[in-house]
Amino acid sequence: MSRVRLQGLTRRFGSVTAVDDVWLDVADGELLVLLGPSGCGKSTLLRMIAGLLPPTAGRVLLDDTDVTTVPPQRRDVAMVFQSYALYPHLSVAGNIGFPLRARRRSRADIRRKVTEVAGALDLSALLDRKPRELSGGQRQRVALGRALVRDPGAFLMDEPLSNLDARLRATTRAEIAELHRALGATIVYVTHDQVEAMTMATRVAVLDQGRVEQAGTPAEVYDEPASVFVATFLGAPAMNIVPATVVATDGGLTVRATDLDLPLGIDATTPGRDVLLGVRPEHLTLTGEPGIRAVVTAVENLGGDEVAHCRAGTHTLAVRGPRPLRLAAGDRVGLTARPEHLHLFDPGTGGRLVWRTADIATPERNFA
Amino acid sequence: MTTDTRLRRITGHVVLTVLSIACAFPIYWLYATSLRAPGDVHSLTILPWPLSTANYAAAFANNDVARMLANTAIVALLSAAGQLLVGLLAAYAFAAWTFPLRRTLYLMFVGTWLVPFQATMLPNYVLLARLGLLETLAGVIIPNLCSALGVLLLREHLAGFPKELLDAARMDGRSSWNILWTVVVPVIRPALAALGILLVITAWNEYFWPAMVLQRGNAVVQLGLRSFMGTEGNDWGPLMATAGLACLPVFVLYLVLQRHIVQAFVRSGLK
Ligand SMILES: Nc1ncnc2c1ncn2[C@@H]1O[C@H](COP(=O)(O)OP(=O)(O)OP(=O)(O)O)[C@@H](O)[C@H]1O
Ligand SMILES: [Mg+2]
């Protein structure tokens, strides 16, 4: 298995910059998920790692070799496509064995390897079928088998689960995670599904408009989002973002907006500073002595949980909690959140703000 | 059903019936005449009776019909094969690769389709004369080895070819040339077959160009027909028999591969 390094990778299509100066280091055996909305450049980035698309600038390194100009067939990486891209004229066995035939391995060798991979993926009974005679999940496994059979240095997967129904997606997700553990494989996995990212990844890189907004473990990107974009992209419903001001009060620093007054738990003074306050719906709790005074506008049932949509001042806030919340539209509620669950962002750049030290007068941008 | 739509349906069927009779009758008459006894050739009875194969015997005796049929088959198959190969290679390049001047080159390729045959026939003829290929089958075939139609149809077809399949094959270790033969050709085989049939039929029916190149001999069957037309009148019986034989392969091909052919014509019309 290989380490994959991307150094300043950039790709422009005419005036569109699809991938913008991406630096990533995928360690040997890591499952890195590239997460981002549609059109943010995930596929473009993956195709550059595969060698299917030449970068406008930057380098791709496999282990210590610069492969930026090496054609795909001579890079030691395998790819699983979103459409599966199975060869319609070949049987399952033919599809799985295709990369080995291209490498002119002996027939016996190919048969042995195909049988082995098919066994591992539960495809043994289907070896003689054509792709059109398979279900979506089976096709997906054949596509996986075709990548596995090569023993590549790294796997690239472009939304491999997006054509499956919800239940199959959950089981296949677990299968791929298990495969990753069993093989110790290096995997770069593209998805726009945050659940896939959170559950499978050893590290997540969140992309927006071709740039890496944040790279870190799933817990890091969820608990300490580096920007408003990352904060609102992860989590359902999305993190509440409210324009507010940080002011000094007798009880320390407080973040304020209309009908909203939450202590930050920092004993310091500061001139007023405009910020964007972020708080996740599940971190807002109902309370008698409110930091936020709100009116419920609607309640959604998610099964195990309920989401109450509230209005505080001119803003709407989502509150998520175990069902039943015992709320109805029109109710007046008080809400609060613990200081460690309050995120502050710069209104101009959208970057995360942290206190460098307790006595610095203004919140500082965290450049880390 | 209202009487109005009913009437419209009936009218439609009547029109179609009349049209198909108008199309089919000459062909029927061709075979009917060829099967009449030599004395009855000018008979106007709808059913030829008594049946006779004398005209076919005369055709074979008078002329080397078998050799002409074989020559025609060679010309048709080789030009179709050439057009198919050139079309495939060009269409693959245009569809799967990006290179400078791709659009321009493609338009030039297809533009040759707009140049009328009459404009190229004399230069081609002179060139063949210089090369000493007049009066040879090679002379008939070589100028027809490439057809813009083939390039156009295959390129349109390949434009819809899933690009991820090509990418997958590249990832799996195939060179571009290998991908063409191990992935592209097997997948588009139905389209290739349909186009191949279309090209064979077109080449088979070609009359004018063989007539120019092969002025002395009667090396293809369409020209052989001429030998039955004389100044003292036409030898209708053997003429019809030869014409019937000349049509036969096309009919057989059509009957056997009807679905493919209709598809080919529909494709060429719609896409
Ligand atoms: N061949 C191309 N020519 C021009 N623009 C392109 C090309 N390929 C991608 N783009 C543009 O680059 C941007 C990123 O595309 P990309 O396919 O990488 O997005 P993505 O993140 O994979 O989206 P999705 O989740 O929808 O697959 C888009 O704005 C797209 O329009
Ligand atoms: Mg994509």
- HEC profile of B123-149: HHHHHHHHHCCCCCHHHHHHHHCCCHH
Residue of A361 and A99 predicted with greater confidence:
A99
| Token duo for residue A48 | 């550059």
Q: Which amino acid is at A245?
A: T
Are residues A247 and A221 located together in one domain of the fold? no
The yes-or-no verdict on residue A356 having pLDDT over 70 is no
> What is residue A272's predicted lDDT score, i.e. its pLDDT?
81
> What is residue B30's predicted lDDT score, i.e. its pLDDT?
86
Are residues A205 and A281 located together in one domain of the fold? no
What are the tens digits of pLDDT across the range A172-183?
Answer: 899 899 989 998
Instruction: Please report which confidence band the pLDDT of residue B1 belongs to, taking 50, 70 and 90 as the band edges.
Output: low
How would you class B117 by CB atoms within 10 Å of its CB: exposed for 0-12, middle for 13-18, buried for 19 or more?
Answer: exposed
Query: Of the candidates A286, A299, A297, A280, which has an alpha carbon nearest to the alpha carbon of residue A334?
Result: A286
Are residues A80 and A200 located together in one domain of the fold? yes
CA A46 to ligand 1: nearest atom: 18
Nearest residue (CA) to ligand 1, atom 16: A41
- Coarse DSSP helix, strand, coil percentages of chain B, rounded to the nearest 5 percent: 75, 0, 20
Q: Using CA atoms, how far apart are residues A155 and A260, in angstroms rounded to an integer?
A: 48
Q: Using CA atoms, how far apart are residues B50 and A199, in angstroms rounded to an integer?
A: 87
Q: Using CA atoms, how far apart are residues B2 and A350, in angstroms rounded to an integer?
A: 69
Query: At A282, is the secondary structure helix, strand, or coil?
Result: helix
Instruction: Please report which confidence band the pLDDT of residue A357 belongs to, taking 50, 70 and 90 as the band edges.
Output: low
Are residues A133 and A171 located together in one domain of the fold? yes
Within 8 A by CB and 6+ apart from A37, the residues are: A192, A208, A233
H-only helix segments in B97-116: 102-111
> What is residue A88's predicted lDDT score, i.e. its pLDDT?
94
Domain containing residue A202: 4-232
Cis peptide bond N-terminal to B100, omega within 30? no
Query: At B115, is the secondary structure helix, strand, or coil?
Result: coil
> What is residue B110's predicted lDDT score, i.e. its pLDDT?
85
Query: At B36, is the secondary structure helix, strand, or coil?
Result: strand
Q: Using CA atoms, how far apart are residues A323 and B74, in angstroms rounded to an integer?
A: 81
Ligand 1 mutation pick, A42, A47, A161, max ligand atoms within 8 A of CB: A42
Residue of B253 and B99 predicted with greater confidence:
B99
Of A232, A263, A278, the last residue of a domain is A232
The yes-or-no verdict on residue A365 having pLDDT over 60 is no
- Report the separation in Å between the CA atom of A37 and the middle of ligand 1, taken as the mean of its atom positions: 11
- Report the separation in Å between the CA atom of A201 and the middle of ligand 2, taken as the mean of its atom positions: 18
Ligand 1 mutation pick, A44, A49, A159, A188, max ligand atoms within 8 A of CB: A44
Nearest Cβ partner for A78 among B165, B171, B175: B171
Residue of B138 and A309 predicted with greater confidence:
A309
Chain centroid to Cα A108, Å, comes to: 41
How many Å lie between the alpha carbon of A364 and the closest alpha carbon of chain B?
47
- State phi, psi for B52 to the nearest 5 degrees: -155, 145
Are residues A21 and A147 located together in one domain of the fold? yes
Instruction: Please report which confidence band the pLDDT of residue B96 belongs to, taking 50, 70 and 90 as the band edges.
Output: confident
Query: What is Dmax (Cα atoms) for chain B?
Result: 72
How would you class B193 by CB atoms within 10 Å of its CB: exposed for 0-12, middle for 13-18, buried for 19 or more?
Answer: middle
Q: With CB atoms and an 8 Å threshold, state whether A88 touches B187.
A: yes
Average pLDDT over residues B8-13: 92
How would you class B62 by CB atoms within 10 Å of its CB: exposed for 0-12, middle for 13-18, buried for 19 or more?
Answer: middle
> What is residue A367's predicted lDDT score, i.e. its pLDDT?
34
The yes-or-no verdict on residue A86 having pLDDT over 50 is yes
Q: Which amino acid is at A354?
A: V
What is the domain count for chain A?
2
Q: Using CA atoms, how far apart are residues A300 and A158, in angstroms rounded to an integer?
A: 33
The yes-or-no verdict on residue B217 having pLDDT over 70 is no
Query: How many residue pairs bridge chain A and chain B with CB atoms within 8 Å of each other?
Result: 56
Say if residues A45 and A17 touch (Cβ distance below 8 Å): no
> What is residue A41's predicted lDDT score, i.e. its pLDDT?
95
Terminal Cα-to-Cα distance of chain B (whole angstroms): 36
Of A208, A232, A256, the last residue of a domain is A232
Q: Considering chain A, what is the average pLDDT of its residues?
A: 91
What are the tens digits of pLDDT across the range A253-266?
Answer: 889 998 888 988 88
| Token duo for residue A119 | 């066994």
The yes-or-no verdict on residue B231 having pLDDT over 70 is no
Q: What is the pTM of this model?
A: 0.82
Crossing angle of the two packed helices B236-256 and B54-62, in degrees rounded to 10: 100
How many Å lie between the alpha carbon of A14 and the closest alpha carbon of chain B?
15
Query: At B172, is the secondary structure helix, strand, or coil?
Result: coil
- Report the separation in Å between the CA atom of B196 and the middle of ligand 2, taken as the mean of its atom positions: 37
Over A152-211, what HEC string results? CCEEEEECCCCCCCHHHHHHHHHHHHHHHHHHCCEEEEEECCHHHHHHHCCEEEEEECCE
CB under 6 Å to ligand 1: residues?
A: A 13, 16, 18, 36, 38-44, 192
Say if residues A227 and A368 touch (Cβ distance below 8 Å): no
**Length in residues, chain A:** 368
Query: At A65, is the secondary structure helix, strand, or coil?
Result: strand
Q: Which amino acid is at A87?
A: Y
Query: Which residues in chain A are contacts of B183 at CB distance < 8 A?
Result: 87
Query: Which residues in chain B are contacts of A89 at CB distance < 8 A?
Result: 186-187, 189
Closest residue on chain A to B174 (Cα)? A102
Which among A74, A95, A98 is the top mutation candidate for probing chain B, defined by the most B β-carbons within 10 Å of its own β-carbon? A98
**Length in residues, chain B:** 271
Closest residue on chain A to B169 (Cα)? A99
Dihedral angle, C-alpha B149, B155, B156, B162, nearest 10 °:
160
Query: Of the candidates A146, A197, A205, A156, which has an alpha carbon nearest to the alpha carbon of residue A173?
Result: A197
What are the tens digits of pLDDT across the range B148-194?
Answer: 888 988 998 898 899 999 999 999 999 999 999 999 999 888 888 88
| Token duo for residue A276 | 């964007």
Residue of B17 and B246 predicted with greater confidence:
B17
Average pLDDT over residues A207-217: 96
Are residues A87 and A193 located together in one domain of the fold? yes
Task: For chain A, state the CA radius of gyration.
Answer: 25
Query: At A255, is the secondary structure helix, strand, or coil?
Result: strand
CATH superfamily of B63-270: MetI-like (1.10.3720.10)
How many Å lie between the alpha carbon of A103 and the closest alpha carbon of chain B?
7
Query: What is Dmax (Cα atoms) for chain A?
Result: 81
- What CATH number does residue A282 fall under? 2.40.50.140
- What CATH number does residue A130 fall under? 3.40.50.300
Evaluated on CA atoms B104, B109, B114, B117, the torsion sign reads positive
The yes-or-no verdict on residue B42 having pLDDT over 60 is yes
Cross-strand bridge partners of residue A35 = A191, A206
Say if residues A19 and A11 touch (Cβ distance below 8 Å): yes
Query: Which residues in chain B are contacts of A88 at CB distance < 8 A?
Result: 187
Percent of chain B with pLDDT over 70: 92
Closest residue on chain B to A85 (Cα)? B165
The DSSP H or E segment spanning A333 is strand A332-336
Of A213, A232, A251, the last residue of a domain is A232
**Interchain contact A102–B (C-beta under 8 A):** yes
